[in-house]
Chains A and B, each alone.
Chain A
Amino acid sequence: MFSEQARQTAGQCRHYAMCKIDYLGTGLCRSGEENQYVSHFPQGRMDIYHALCRGLVPITRGLVEIAGSCDLCGICDKQCHFVTGMRPVEVMRALKTHVRQWLEQGNQPVQAASDPDLEAMRRIVGDKWASNDPAVLLTYADDPFPLAGMRTPRYVALPKSREEVAALVRFANTRNLPYVVRGNGGSVFGFVFSDGLVMDMNRMKGIEIDRENWTARVEPGVTSFELQKEAVRHGLRANTAEPAATVCGNIVCTGLFSTWSNAYGVNADTFVDMEFIDSRGDFFRLNDPLAANAFCFEHKLTPAPGICTLAHVRLHPSTEDEEGLMVPFDDFEEAVLFARELSTRRIGLALGVLGGHYLSTFMSPSAELADKVRYGLTHALGLRYVVFMVGDRFAREAVRSMREFVIDSKLFRMLMLGLPRLGDDEWLDLVSGMHTDQPPYAILLRPEMYSLLEAVLRPSPETAAQAVDEDLQDFYAQLYARPQMTDMVWLNMFRIISARMSRRKHMFAFLVYVPLDRVQVIKQICGQLGRIADKYGIENDYGFLTPLDLGKRAILEYDYYIDHQDPLEKEKIRKALKEFEPYLDNLSASTKGVKWLKYIFSQGCARKEAFLYT
């Protein structure tokens, strides 16, 4: 018997791999930490249960071991709820129950037969670290990306060293075995599958900080979160991507970008050197004069230079007086122009233009509250857009001299910890009715109003925790009592709340480099992507925009939201693809400064100048 509710939850796993990093200080899933395969993390068990319900996988010895290794500790409930609102323990329990009952009925699990290839790979990586168990393979076969189908590999291997990776490549070549690399065992773009071998780099976690050179040497299993944590320990900062994404994988695939890219750059700006293994199994470094030129850019789909085994990335200093600041705007164009002005004048480090949707979703511990306060933030307070900035006191003073109304760190903390009461109907009615000749934030966000806002919101970790299920409230109250949970700088460095954008539905993100001096082009792209989505009934919204290279260019994100388990929704996106793909292709080919990320794919090591100004 399968639990329908557990099946539905299992099918909604976003493969963000957030259960593979200890981002809340809860510790990691013990089984995952010990066994390293995706299948042994909550994400893998979700996939396995969903596949079992659909009859896609037999109960194998591996599956029995995977189910049995979960001790129902509840860590995954906390981790997953924080970003998706889901409670995976229910799925873990259902999986264990199902397997136990199945065994009690006298059934025997399937034993995946070994073969010479598997034996050969086990000699390279060790017996435990190569598998052909169908339950293990299944967790490397699919992603929520709606335009890719399932593709199950024959083997999964987890090498520990660069030498083992090279040996696996050479072995695969001798056997004509196709292979791919999955940095953290997942890919939200859904492009990284193979019928042959999947190499999961999760065991290669080495980080070596070079303080004299402001750099770090990072192995391919290191995630952005882990690098940032180590960098901060040394008083430095990394320009990082999504927290669970691996640093190497990110650089190779798309190049690194974030709101910090305003100051720290993108793509080749972010590293000193990279080490790869080529298709023959030989090592090369990008700085080697004889190496293939990965710094160039071609406007076409291009394979990656090889398997990245080391990234030598740049780190950056920080000052003790850095704080976050948000500047509210009614109008998108005004917000973009202001962000551009800051970038051009070199004011601030991290910089971005966020929509009200992003803001409410990032800040809210639950989807219900996000929906409720979205109206409160965008309409009642008038925060339709905010320019977000991290800067030292000089930068913040400069911004305050340019704009009268800002949300400083104190006010942000107040809003974050009082968010459930910001959505209070009586308060919202009152604020909505307050028609004046200024946007509401111009009155409500004045320092004189802080005391009143505090009285209304009664901000506290306990207030913030009211937004979540009762049994999680103590945990959330303790979590929100940590200063970093309401610190715009920390949150923006570790990016643990950005995955909340996929909380309601899977997010299909369009990332496009755009000319920041031509706001009309940016508005046209948003407008056209919005129109295509509306035509097919796809939820859509503006995401964010970050200035680059002193305000000359920017990276724009526009998002579609779909239920990846709903065939109708998949069909909608397939139809929409026939319109958005040629639109963005043509625009990328014909408009200076516009480049769809699709063309940067696998050219993440390229110099930004090679694609931003061609």
Chain B
Amino acid sequence: MMVQTRKQQTFLVTGGTGFLGSHVAVDLLSRGHRVLVLARGRSNSSASQRMEQLLNWFGIRKDQRMDLKILQGDLNRPGLGLDPRDARVVSRETDETVHCASDTSFSPDRREQVERTNILGLENLLDVVRESPCRALHLVSTAYVAGKSRGLCAEDFGQVREFHNVYEETKFRAEKIAAEHCAVNRITLYVYRPSIVYGNSTTGRTTLFKALYYPIRTLHFFQKLYTRDILENGGKKARDMQVLLGGNGVLHLPVRIQSSDECGLNLIPVDHFVEAFMAIRRGCPEGGVFHIVNPRSTTISRLADYTRRFFQLEGVRAVEPDEFLKQPRNGLELLFDSYIRYYGPYMQDRRIFENSRTSAILAGQNISCPEFSYQVFATCMRYAVETDWGRQL
């Protein structure tokens, strides 16, 4: 089935106030498309206000905003909780749908909520789309629907038996539901499976400071905490933790992170994700499953090195598990250990995501994933620190 190619298409985008959804929506706008963004209000701001803030952050001109319509609604409600007028706009005008909304919580305690968003939300969306002229569904999934698979993870709707958490499981189930629905209703389905997405590789800009950012932010917090203790309070707490401030301003922060050089994080910048998304949509009219991943993983050891350099730290290092038998973990290391263990499947990943289809499409359009170099890391961290890890956005 062919995706329509007339000049201005109308896209319905869910999760348009989220990290990936906002980037996709803005890119579509900049390409001259009309975008309907489904967004929820919050207690302190309406859906329109939230979107307005994002558009300002992206620097979108007023005239470009003419093609954007905010639909206040709720994915978790039948009919997406739209008022009748907005529901009519969606049912009459949607050409393609981009489903970015997702609950990324891993906690088993939040299963009900995660299922509500990732499964029920999708079903609500599909019910609405069915009544519209929409002929293409772009489902933003994750490379980690591979679950506990080992080795090579295929770029298709393969079977997966075990998952690390409810997020992976529900994203996997969502893909299946979307595939069945699209087959029955003759809608072209694109399933995008990115790995871990960080900020813009050129500018460092991002609206989300989780995943890659969180452990580094924690180190930065400790750095500030103990530097203040040393400079303002005599440094007793720092000494208790064997934290030292050198004459050159470099802080010795003894944090050993359990890791191995055989595994690492698969990181892609958000600009690459958007570029790949658009290239795939453009270059593959029949749809399919697409792994948008980095061919090269980044080891914890390398991340520790980058962190030391950028933040002027010593003592932060990746070590083999045996190291902790010799000397038990201190409080700082305990924090890291719990985090690393929880995110182990993503931070110490040995899986290989097969991406020959995606690579072929991207190569045909001269697109490649930027290397996660120190330069890119520093750019991203500079932005993170400038914005106080998003608190000043």
Contacts and interface: CB of A to CB of B under 8 A. Distances in A.
Interface stretch (A115-123, A451-459, A464-472): A451-459
Contact of B391 (A426, A443, A451): A426
Contact of B237 (A425, A438, A448, A455): A455
Contacts of A434: 214, 218, 335, 338-339
A443 B334 contact: yes
Chain B, interface residues (CB within 8 Å), range: 20 to 34
A318 B334 CA distance: 38
Contacts of A330: 109
B341 interface: yes
Given A434-B335, A436-B342, A438-B338, A429 B389 contact: yes
A438 B109 CA distance: 11
Classify the secondary structure of A's interface with B.
Answer: helix
**Best-surrounded residue of B106, B334, B388 (most CB of chain A within 10 A):** B334
A461 to B, nearest CB: 16
Nearest to B239: A451
B30 interface: no
Interface residues of A, number: 23
A448 B225 contact: no
Interface stretch (B16-24, B138-146, B179-187, B324-332): B324-332
A131 B270 CA distance: 80
A427 B233 CA distance: 19
Interface string B98-138: 00000001110100000000000000000000000000000
A451 B240 contact: yes
A449 B331 CA distance: 5
Contacts of B341: 436-437
A448 B339 contact: no
Contact of B218 (A430, A448, A450, A455): A430
Contact of B338 (A425, A427, A430, A443): A443
B384 to A, nearest CB: 13
A435 B388 CA distance: 20
A433 B209 CA distance: 10
A452 B331 contact: yes
B221 A426 contact: yes
A425 B329 contact: no
A455 B338 contact: no
B330 A448 contact: yes
A606 to B, nearest CB: 43
A306 B296 CA distance: 86
Contacts of A429: 389, 391
A592 interface: no
Given A443-B335, A454-B240, 12 more contacts: A427-B221, A430-B218, A433-B217, A434-B339, A435-B105, A436-B342, A437-B107, A446-B331, A448-B330, A449-B334, A455-B229, A455-B240
Interface of A: 330, 425-427, 429-430, 433-438, 443, 446, 448-452, 454-456, 458
23 contacts: A426-B391, A429-B389, A429-B391, A430-B221, A434-B335, A434-B338, A434-B339, A435-B342, A436-B338, A436-B339, A443-B334, A443-B338, A446-B334, A448-B329, A448-B331, A448-B334, A449-B335, A451-B237, A451-B241, A452-B331, A455-B238, A455-B241, A458-B233
